[in-house]
A = this chain, B = another copy of it.
Amino acid sequence: MSKISFITSNPDKYCEMKAFFEENSLELGWTRVSLPELQADTLEEVVIHSLSHFDGDGVFVEDAGIFIDSLSGFPGVYSRYVFDTIGNEGILKLMSGVENRSARFEAVVGFKPEGGGDIKLFKGVVKGFVSLSPKGGKGFGYDPIFTPEGFKKTFAEDEHIKSMVSHRKKAAEKLLQYLKRNL
């Protein structure tokens, strides 16, 4: 199998994904470019649109977001923009006094098979809660304010929890299973 490459401009995402590949004794290339992202309701649409702007195959993109139930799914597919503007501080302000703190991280991987063929989509979801305050210095983005179901620490407090149950891990595992079956 020739080397699969991850298209992302985000070094943190590349490093996380590379670790999942290495656990499976696979190499992962890095195509460090930024593809256009559509304003859409779902990560799937964003991913398909982005990949349609890339010539070549044997590559994948990933898009992720945090969907907060009591905020009608906000920030959802716009998680990166919202993080860059109002940040975790803004999210916690919006959630102040809100009892229902349930949220989920979603990640969708879109893969363009070598030699052509339809784009394959792999989704990972992890349910959890928005914490009352930011905790922990690991991870990135919303990790300090997200506590996964069944745990008491945020993703940023314990990177082992994140590497076990994260949305990106789950999407990556589905991609890896597919790659092992098909290549």
Contact = CB atoms under 8 A, between A and B. Distances in A.
A76 B72 contact: no
Contacts of A90: 71, 74, 94
Contact of A93 (B39, B40, B85, B96): B96
A108 to B, nearest CB: 15
Interface string A69-81: 0011111101001
Copies of this chain, count? 2
Nearest to A95: B93
A17 to B, nearest CB: 21
Nearest to A39: B37
Contacts of A76: 81, 85
A38 B93 CA distance: 28
Contacts of A36: 38-40, 49
Given A36-B39, A72-B85, A93-B96, 14 more contacts: A36-B38, A38-B38, A39-B46, A39-B81, A72-B86, A73-B85, A74-B81, A74-B82, A74-B90, A76-B81, A76-B85, A78-B78, A78-B81, A86-B94
Interface of A: 36-40, 46, 49, 71-76, 78, 81-82, 84-86, 90, 93-94, 96
